[in-house]
Amino acid sequence: MAGMPSGGLPPGSRYADVRPYAVADSLDQLHGPTAGVVVLDRWLDWSGSARYDLENPRRLARMYETVLREASRTADLSHWLDGRTLVRLCPDLVLPPQVRSRWETRFPELTTGRSSAA
């Protein structure tokens, strides 16, 4: 069909394109935990694996991916994320393009160190 991207769906027709993703106003406002074990609120992680040991780098990254993907309020972001940790982790996080572009547009420092393969 004319005007359709190669993926078949017109831009904005997928839920991921229009859903509200929360983005912080400032990285300095993010003062979440950086150590210990945390359990995310059910509205952020309903998987049954909402417990995260922040000393484990994989679980820390997974928690950040979950919060960035699922938070719809900036209060959730400031409660669970830490600005410095986000800057360090962001280049390697697996995020939907809609989430990544919103955050990187607001905070270009999150793109530092991203490999060309990402």
Over pLDDT 90: what percentage of the chain?
A: 71
Q: Give the chain's domain count.
A: 1
Note down the domain range covering 79.
26-99
Give yes or no for residue 9 having a pLDDT over 80.
no
- Count of H helices and E strands in the chain? 5, 2
DSSP-assigned letter for residue 82: B
At residue 88, the pLDDT reads 97
33-50 per-position pLDDT tens digit:
999 999 999 989 988 889
Q: Please indicate, yes or no, if residue 87 is contained in any of the structural domains.
A: yes
Q: Please indicate, yes or no, if residue 8 is contained in any of the structural domains.
A: no
> Mean pLDDT over residues 41-63, rounded?
93
> Mean pLDDT over residues 4-26, rounded?
68
